[in-house]
Structure 1
Amino acid sequence: MPFDVVIVGAGPAGLAAAIRLKQLAAENNAEIEVCVIEKGSEVGAHILSGAVVDPRALDELIPDWREQGCPMADTPVTENHHWVLSKTSKFAIPHITTPGFMHNKGTYTGSLGNMCRWLAEKAEELEVQIFPGFAAAEILYNEDGSIKGVATGDMGVGKDGEHKADYTPGLELHARYTFFAEGARGHLTKILKRQFDLEANCEPQTYGIGLKELWDIDPKKHVPGRVIHTQGWPLDDAWGGGFLYHQANGQVALGFVVALSYQNPHLSPFHEFQRWKLHPEIRAILEGGKRVSYGARAINEGGWQSVPKLAFPGGALIGCSAGFVNVPRIKGSHTAMKSGMLAAESAFRAIQADRSSDELVDYQENLNNSWIAEELKLVKNVEPCVDKFGGTMGTVLGGIDMWMRNLGIGLPFTMKHDPDYKHMGRADLYKPIDYPKPDGVITFDRLSSVFLSNTNHEEDQPVHLKLKDESLPVTYNLPLYDEPAQRYCPAGVYEIVGEEEGNPRFQINAQNCVHCKTCDIKEMSQNINWVVPEGGGGPNYPNM
């Protein structure tokens, strides 16, 4: 199937790129064929974010989005709070200590998944072809090595690799230019980074794992537009924090982020999240309410210094495939959308000039001169400071650097990163963590949580979590690290079974996978390779 532009991923970046391409075609009385493929069962099914959205890119893309019924317009942010937690109390950081861009003025809170569904409607009105339920499984190349497009995965293949009765071969989607908008730690993006050496002149990308729940709470406690962020307890030797956003329809979105640079192999991000909910200030909001949804997703945290080269022959990285998250602001959808718009403008100019499969050099140049770069450079040392010096001292030092850069006199250096998987310590050097048992009211176990994510995979298909060395989890990870995959996975995918009988075995429950990519990032030997399962598999988030 030939197109002018194929976009892999129907998130904010991919949809913004598709809409911008069609807008430019209409403005110039031109024809352009645009296709978006999405591995989720529908647009928004795999979208998970807090989310507090800065509307800057949306204002540029669709200026009257508020009047056109975008669901994000329902709840403007009215209050902004930042708490430092101890085990039983909180300290509220005064606004005056943070730069103005940290205050959430003019932002909105709501479901990013529902916003993407609305953007998809706008794209389809412009005759963008959107194919949900199709996972891009393979990169296609021209004879000169440039990107030719992608192929979707075969459907109806059994665990044994044999074709089942419902076998359907994948489709080849050819394009002049292919945009990769897979989100954080994209399967094909990993291949592209290696093949085109896209990270040769940047720091390694680093990540956090974000876990989220939606709750219906007591209407008397609900304050639409109230935004709360926390840091401190319960984490001590790791960095992260919580969020709680009062959104529409009497709901709060709450969650917890743990930087994947943590060292203690006994730490479980899921259980830290459950423990955080027991803090008196958080519990008081949730009591009398009901949990209605759960999910998890990796988040780019490397900042500006970890953004790779963006363009290569025939293709480009956009959105979180490249990593444009402003970590201190906990926002990335606006920068993701803007990157997609800039790539669209570059590709449109190339197509109008009858070019094809070359490198979109002006995309890289225009992004480097855009407000994306301006915004991310202001905060580029904040996350590395916290990672290096800890929550308290790192916040102070990062805040000083952020203030200085905001005043135009930033510190004369850019801090560096190590990959997250290099930070794990040996199990015997750390005390196991005694997590409280779930009470089924405020705190829950992983399997009941995965149930709420509506995760589903065809069980008779090849396992999409590939081990380079199948013996490594038991022979190396278990004795040295107590196999932390049992704990860092937020969905209970990995287990050590048979240990009590003296015959330990590493078990992969692939059907539980919520596509967060934590295992692909954190495994100490990079032994786990996450690849796409059959299209349509994974979580089905209704309004995350």
Structure 2
Amino acid sequence: MQRESMEFDVLIVGGGPAGLSAACQLGQLAQKEEKELQICVIEKGSEIGAHILSGAVFEPRALAELFPDWKERGAPLNTPVTGDDIFLFASQQKASKLPNFMVPKTFHNTGNYITSMGNMCRWLAEQAEALGVEVFPGFSAAEVIYDESGAVEGVITGDMGVSATGEQKDSYMPGMELRARYTVFAEGSRGHLGKELIAKYELNKDKSPQHYAIGFKEIWDIPAEQHQEGLVVHSTGWPLEGHASGGGYLYHAENNQVFVGLIVDLNYTNPHVNPFAEFQRFKHHANIENVLKGGKRVSYGARAITKGGFHSLPKMTMPGAILAGCEAGTLNFAKIKGNHTAMKSGMLAAESIFAALQTDQAHTDLVEHEERFKASWLYDELYRSRNFGPAVHKFGTFMGGAYNTIDQNWFGGKLPFTIKDNRPDHEGMELADQAKPIQYDKPDNTISFDRNSSVYLSNTNHEEDQPCHLQLKDASIPISVNLVKYAEPAQRYCPAGVYEVVEQDNGEKVFQINAQNCIHCKTCDIKDPSQNIRWVTPEGTGGPNYPNM
């Protein structure tokens, strides 16, 4: 069956903040200049917002540039931040609130909003469609189309109706060729096509390796007397003491709901670390449990966070295409925020593409984009925060935090030092028999829960009879290498219980992949110490269906 083909002026891969902001900006520029542009956004989730997960405390700077009248348009920003608390958790019972002079000013949230980025993306999609943009959810971008010269010409969407053994079922439908003069890749953190493009065009040459964390989030309905709408709480310390770095958050949203989560940096070296179990343990801290008790957990999810920052930014352009948002790593980890930066990144990409289209160009390398980026507040913001993550990695949470407080509060992020972390997150794993074991308590099913019940709340679903989208480069490595050396850490770092080591009746151990459970967090693609797991897109609409994460 022959593939159908569609052509556009601009194709945008990914319906998140970066991709949708690029679409809206292009639509506005075309409208202003009275140009007719064919702009298409494709999104692998079943609907816009289905795969979006973010804290989120939202800084409206980019939104105000894109839609100055966002309030009148009904953007879902209903909960202004009313207070900031930052705690050092010394133990499960002890916490010390940090005074303002010890807190980097980047952590202050005056003028920001607690919101659901899933709902924000749904609203952005409505604005894009009103500007004439075609938005197609349920279509995964499976392959990049290159022309004879090696320039990007678009993507091929994933085939539908292929069995687990690779045979065409009765429902088979080949993917479509979506071709464009320019393509924006805005797949989010660790996008699999972006990963391919960065390698093919050596976009990260002479850059620090990208760094990641895994971020967990749950939404809880809590008793009204425990709710303080607009309060933002961050923490560091317990339970991530010694064996990992990161921090927790608790955001009091509207309607007596709180968003609670934990961020675990993926550079940890102890193979016994279980980030999911650390999150469940975090909720038992007295400061957190006292807010959650008597409440009901209504949603769960997790995803990778691209946090390498300024030193890890790749070259964003290549012939025919551009990277935007978390695909390029524009998150400002010093603020623990990436939505406003992703939006601005997408808007800058749109401006560069529109300028090229004005001169009737196609499939060129938008080299002027780098100057546009360097002239923007986005570049300045990332530059000022360039040493934040590396300082914490190099000196630890306390000393790194002290350095960053001095750098941000006294010098505005312009201390004449450059700190880099050039070790990839998957390297440096200790041997399991030489690392300190970690004992995790069983969940109480009131505050803490197991992975299976948590995945259920993510509304995750995949067509079962389809090729596994979690590909092993060498099927023998999980047992012959990772199990022997590291007690196969995939059993622990996956937040959805996808990976298991199962013992057969004959005593043989087998590596089992429960791909149906995958919530598309990409942690396995990042953290596997042998770099043996490759995450690719499953059939369109597969994965989690987050209602308002």
**Contact kept? 1:310, 1:318, Cα under 8 Å:** yes
**Contact kept? 2:249, 2:262, Cα under 8 Å:** yes
The 1-side partners of 2:350 and 2:68 are apart by 18
Question: 81, 91, 107: which is aligned to 1:77?
Answer: 81
Give the TM-score taking structure 1 as reference length.
0.98
Alignment of 1:327-406 (within 5 A): 327-406=333-412
Aligned-pair Cα RMSD in Å: 1.1
Amino acid at match of 2:460: T
Aligned residue in 2 for 1:276: 282
Give, in angstroms, the shift of residue 250 of structure 1.
1.2
Amino acid at match of 1:375: E
Give, in angstroms, the shift of residue 99 of structure 1.
4.5
The 2-side partners of 1:391 and 1:421 are apart by 20
C-alpha distance after superposition, 1:31-72 (max 9, x if no partner):
11100000000000000000001100000000111121111x
Alignment of 1:459-474 (within 5 A): 459-474=464-479
Give, in angstroms, the shift of residue 101 of structure 1.
3.7
Give, in angstroms, the shift of residue 182 of structure 1.
0.3
Question: 457, 461, 465: which is aligned to 1:456?
Answer: 461
SS where residue 407 of structure 2 aligns? Answer: helix
The 1-side partners of 2:375 and 2:452 are apart by 46
Give, in angstroms, the shift of residue 28 of structure 1.
0.5
Unaligned runs of 5+ in 2: 1-5
The 2-side partners of 1:84 and 1:506 are apart by 39
Aligned residue in 1 for 2:56: 51
Give the TM-score taking structure 2 as reference length.
0.97
In the alignment, does 2:533 pair up with 1:528? yes
Question: 5, 8, 11: which is aligned to 1:6?
Answer: 11
Aligned residue in 1 for 2:3: none
Alignment of 1:302-321 (within 5 A): 302-321=308-327
**Contact kept? 1:4, 1:175, Cα under 8 Å:** yes
C-alpha distance after superposition, 1:393-429 (max 9, x if no partner):
2211233333354074x13324233110003111011
**Contact kept? 2:155, 2:177, Cα under 8 Å:** yes
Aligned residue in 2 for 1:124: 129
In the alignment, does 2:491 pair up with 1:478? no
**Contact kept? 1:405, 1:411, Cα under 8 Å:** no
The 1-side partners of 2:428 and 2:377 are apart by 33
Question: 177, 182, 185: which is aligned to 2:182?
Answer: 177
C-alpha distance after superposition, 1:308-356 (max 9, x if no partner):
0000100000000000111121100101000110110111111111011
Give, in angstroms, the shift of residue 361 of structure 1.
1.3
**Contact kept? 2:87, 2:235, Cα under 8 Å:** yes
In the alignment, does 2:500 pair up with 1:495? yes
The 1-side partners of 2:100 and 2:514 are apart by 45
Amino acid at match of 1:224: E
- State the aligned residue count: 542
| Between 493-502 and 239-248, the greater mean CA deviation after superposition | 493-502
Aligned residue in 2 for 1:86: 90
1:486–1:500: structure 2 CA closer, same or farther, 3 Å change rule?
farther
Aligned residue in 1 for 2:298: 292
SS where residue 423 of structure 1 aligns? Answer: coil
1:493–1:147: structure 2 CA closer, same or farther, 3 Å change rule?
same
Amino acid at match of 1:384: P
Amino acid at match of 2:257: Q
C-alpha distance after superposition, 1:211-268 (max 9, x if no partner):
1100000111111110000000001121011000011111101100100000110000
The 1-side partners of 2:375 and 2:130 are apart by 31
**Contact kept? 2:391, 2:419, Cα under 8 Å:** no
Amino acid at match of 1:80: D
In the alignment, does 2:203 pair up with 1:198? yes
C-alpha distance after superposition, 1:461-505 (max 9, x if no partner):
000000001000001111110000000000000000007863110
The 2-side partners of 1:192 and 1:390 are apart by 33
Alignment of 1:414-429 (within 5 A): 414-429=419-434
Give, in angstroms, the shift of residue 169 of structure 1.
0.6
Aligned residue in 1 for 2:28: 23
